Chains A and B, each alone.
Chain A
Amino acid sequence: MNRILLASHGPLAKGMKDTLAILAGQNDRIETLCAYVDDQSRDVAKMIDAWEAGIDPDDWWIVVTDVFGGSVNNEFLLRLSEGAFTLVAGMNLPLLVELSVMLDSLDEAALDRAIDSCRASIQRCTPPVAGGDDDEDF
Chain B
Amino acid sequence: MIVLTRVDYRLIHGQVAMTWTRTVGADCILVANDAVAASDVQKAALRMARPSGVKLVIKNVDDAIAALNSGVTDKYKLFVIVETIADAHRLAMSCPAITSINLGGTRSTDEATYHLSTAIFATDADLGLLRELAEKGVELEIRQVPTEQKMDASTLI
Q: Do A and B bind each other?
A: yes
- Residues of chain A touching chain B, judged by Cβ–Cβ distance below 8 Å, are 22-27, 94, 97-98, 101-102, 117, 120, 125, 128-133, 135-138
Q: Chain A's interface: helix, strand, loop or mixed, by majority?
A: loop
- In the complex, A94→B52 CA distance in Å? 12
Residue of B15, B22, B48, B147 touching A128 (CB-CB under 8 A): B48
Which residues of the other chain, B, contact A125 by a CB distance below 8 angstroms?
Answer: 48
Instruction: Say whether, besides A22-B15, A101-B23, A129-B44, A136 and B55 are in contact (CB < 8 Å).
Output: yes
Which residues of the other chain, A, contact B57 by a CB distance below 8 angstroms?
Answer: 136-138
B135 close to chain A: CB less than 8 A: no
Number of interface residues of B (CB under 8 A): 28
- In the complex, A138→B43 CA distance in Å? 16
**CB pairs A–B below 8 angstroms (15 shown):** A23-B18, A23-B145, A24-B145, A24-B147, A98-B18, A101-B22, A117-B52, A120-B52, A128-B44, A128-B48, A130-B44, A131-B40, A132-B44, A138-B72, A138-B76
- Inter-subunit contact B147/A25 (CB<8 Å): yes
Closest to B146 in A: A25
B136 close to chain A: CB less than 8 A: no
- In the complex, A56→B92 CA distance in Å? 48
B1 close to chain A: CB less than 8 A: no
- Inter-subunit contact B44/A131 (CB<8 Å): yes
Which residues of the other chain, A, contact B48 by a CB distance below 8 angstroms?
Answer: 125, 128
Q: How far is the CB of B61 from chain A (nearest CB, A)?
A: 16
Which residues of the other chain, B, contact A101 by a CB distance below 8 angstroms?
Answer: 18-19, 22-23
Closest to A120 in B: B52
Q: How far is the CB of B63 from chain A (nearest CB, A)?
A: 10
Q: How far is the CB of B94 from chain A (nearest CB, A)?
A: 17
- In the complex, A26→B144 CA distance in Å? 11
Q: How far is the CB of B3 from chain A (nearest CB, A)?
A: 15
B58 close to chain A: CB less than 8 A: yes
- In the complex, A138→B131 CA distance in Å? 32
B157 close to chain A: CB less than 8 A: no
Which residues of the other chain, B, contact A97 by a CB distance below 8 angstroms?
Answer: 14, 18-19
- In the complex, A33→B43 CA distance in Å? 41
- Inter-subunit contact B40/A130 (CB<8 Å): yes
Instruction: Say whether, besides A129-B44, A131-B44, A135-B58, A25 and B14 are in contact (CB < 8 Å).
Output: no
